[in-house]
Amino acid sequence: MKNSSSAFFISLIYFLISLILLLFSDELLFLITKNPETIANLQDMKAWIFIIISSIFIYFMIKLLTKKHEKSKDELEKIFNSLASPTMLFNEDGKILMINKIFEELTGYKYKEIDTIEKWTRKAYGEKALEVKEIINSLYSVDDIVDAGVFQIMTKNDKKICWHFNTAPFGIKNGKRTIIATALDVTELKEKEKMMIQQSKMAAMGEILENIAHQWRQPLSTISTASTGIKLQNEHGILTNEIITESMDMINKSAQHLSKTIDDFRGFFKPDQKKEFFKVKHTFEKIIMIIGNKFDGEKINFISEIEDFQILNYNNALIQVLINIFTNSKDVFNEKKIKDRFIFVDVSSDEYSATIQIKDNAGGISSKIIDKVFEPYFTTKHQAQGTGIGLYMSEELITKHMKGKIKVENSKFLYDGKKYSGALFTITLPLKI
């Protein structure tokens, strides 16, 4: 306020002096003398006086504006440094204008070491520097707050940390678009998430091994029966070539089944899952191969209507999610001792996405907890039966890895003239990612 008053006062004085010089100076000169040469000299002096006054005015105005700018900059720095989150200000020229103290403390880098986007990305992101710069370049055309996502950053002392960035336009400074980026340190959260993913994988592996054991039981029993039969018949002297041939065929057939089972399940133990083209219909058939015998034994009937189309995504991730949902239905069937057990699978597509709907007739989910089923460690099962990470990890796989959506609701429907109710899961996936 004080600077504004001073600027106004100086401007007013300058205006009045300029007005007097312009309106009355020539009249005053003619009153002083009529000599043209003297008047010319005095006019030169008048011009010099005007230049001097203008220079003084400009000097004071620049000084006032500089003080105001420095004060504004100091205030901005104070605000920046008071923020609890790491914060960066940069422009479209690739210049980093400012970082706050917490940014320096967590990364170990001083401002002078990372005063450009080039330096910052090279030091913090290493091999992914180009990829990150492309993301940053896309921000200059955005007019709203952007969730830029989670990035792994290398600090100056070679420590890996995870930051979740949010960015927003910060106006135009010196003719350049400026962006402000704030970060949330989610390193600890990501470590817990890794542990949860590992727990989920172990749980899924346990389910798969159980299904392998279930499928192996019959062929192993066949092999054992055939080999024992040959031994007993040989001991009693009644073993014939026909019996040997028949028994060997049974053993070979069972061994081939065991080998095929190993090949079918092998993909689930690969740590490096890659996106691939696959048909959801084949995915469902593979799932039935995995859990079919067990679910048949529990008298669970699958009713499916699946369009035959292809998508580009993570097939094994989808299998893990679907098995998890099917297994939850099985557990509820058993818990509630439901007699007629159905799981309905409907798969359809449009121009851009695939929709997978899974519903059962297990009675649905209580309205008190239905909004919590995707939360980590939330479970309605006994501690020995569930960890509460199955549906949470399913949502993580669908939303973060497969770039889709998943939701759950209760549904009432008719089937074979009977009324049923149950949980309805709807998964939406892009046809290509």
The number of angstroms, rounded, from the C-alpha of 417 to the middle of its chain's C-alpha atoms is: 44
Task: For the chain, give the number of residues.
Answer: 433
pLDDT of 174 higher than 60: yes
pLDDT of 319 higher than 90: no
pLDDT of 161 higher than 80: yes
The number of angstroms, rounded, from the C-alpha of 148 to the middle of its chain's C-alpha atoms is: 9
* Section 96-113 average pLDDT: 92
* Section 354-366 average pLDDT: 95
CA angle 188, 191, 193 (to 5 degrees): 110
Dihedral angle over CA of 124, 125, 127, 128, nearest 10: -160
The number of angstroms, rounded, from the C-alpha of 273 to the middle of its chain's C-alpha atoms is: 18
pLDDT of 190 higher than 80: no
* Section 223-229 average pLDDT: 90
CA angle 63, 15, 54 (to 5 degrees): 50
Range name among 133-147, 210-224, 390-404 with the lowest pLDDT average? 210-224
Helix (H) or strand (E) holding 311: strand 310-313
The model's pTM is 0.53
Higher pLDDT, 161 or 174: 161
What is residue 35's predicted lDDT score, i.e. its pLDDT?
60
pLDDT of 270 higher than 70: no
What is residue 85's predicted lDDT score, i.e. its pLDDT?
83
At 9, which amino acid appears?
Answer: F
pLDDT of 361 higher than 90: yes
* Section 191-202 average pLDDT: 70
What is residue 262's predicted lDDT score, i.e. its pLDDT?
74
Integer CA distances (angstroms), 72 to 66, 77, 79, 86, 233, in order: 10, 9, 11, 21, 100
* Section 32-53 average pLDDT: 61
Q: How far is the C-alpha of 165 from the C-alpha of 115, rounded, in Å? A: 18
Integer CA distances (angstroms), 202 to 158, 206, 385, in order: 31, 6, 14
Q: How far is the C-alpha of 86 from the C-alpha of 102, rounded, in Å? A: 5
What percent of the chain has a predicted confidence (pLDDT) above 90? 38
What is residue 123's predicted lDDT score, i.e. its pLDDT?
94
Buried b (16+ CB within 10 A) or exposed e, 162-197: bbbbebebeeeeeeebbbbbbbebeeeebeebeebe
Close Cβ partners of 427 (under 8 Å, ≥ 6 residues apart) = 321, 355, 356, 357, 358, 398, 404, 405, 406
Which residues are 181's β-sheet partners? Answer: 88, 167
Q: How far is the C-alpha of 296 from the C-alpha of 302, rounded, in Å? A: 9
CA angle 51, 54, 59 (to 5 degrees): 125
Residue 201 banded pLDDT, cuts 50, 70, 90:
low
Helix (H) or strand (E) holding 407: strand 405-415
What is residue 26's predicted lDDT score, i.e. its pLDDT?
57
Range name among 5-9, 127-131, 356-360 with the lowest pLDDT average? 5-9
What is residue 388's predicted lDDT score, i.e. its pLDDT?
42
pLDDT digits (tens, 9 = 90+) for 381-407: 533 344 345 788 889 889 988 999 999
Residue 212 banded pLDDT, cuts 50, 70, 90:
confident
Q: How far is the C-alpha of 145 from the C-alpha of 225, rounded, in Å? A: 69
What is residue 387's predicted lDDT score, i.e. its pLDDT?
39
Q: How far is the C-alpha of 155 from the C-alpha of 81, rounded, in Å? A: 20
Buried b (16+ CB within 10 A) or exposed e, 220-238: eebbeebeeebeeeeeeee
pLDDT of 78 higher than 80: no
pLDDT digits (tens, 9 = 90+) for 281-296: 999 988 887 788 788 8
> What integer best gives the mean pLDDT of the chain?
81
pLDDT of 216 higher than 50: yes
Contacts 24+ apart (CB under 8 A), 36-40: none
Q: How far is the C-alpha of 246 from the C-alpha of 11, rounded, in Å? A: 113
**Cβ–Cβ under 8 Å, residues 321 and 391:** no
pLDDT of 302 higher than 90: yes
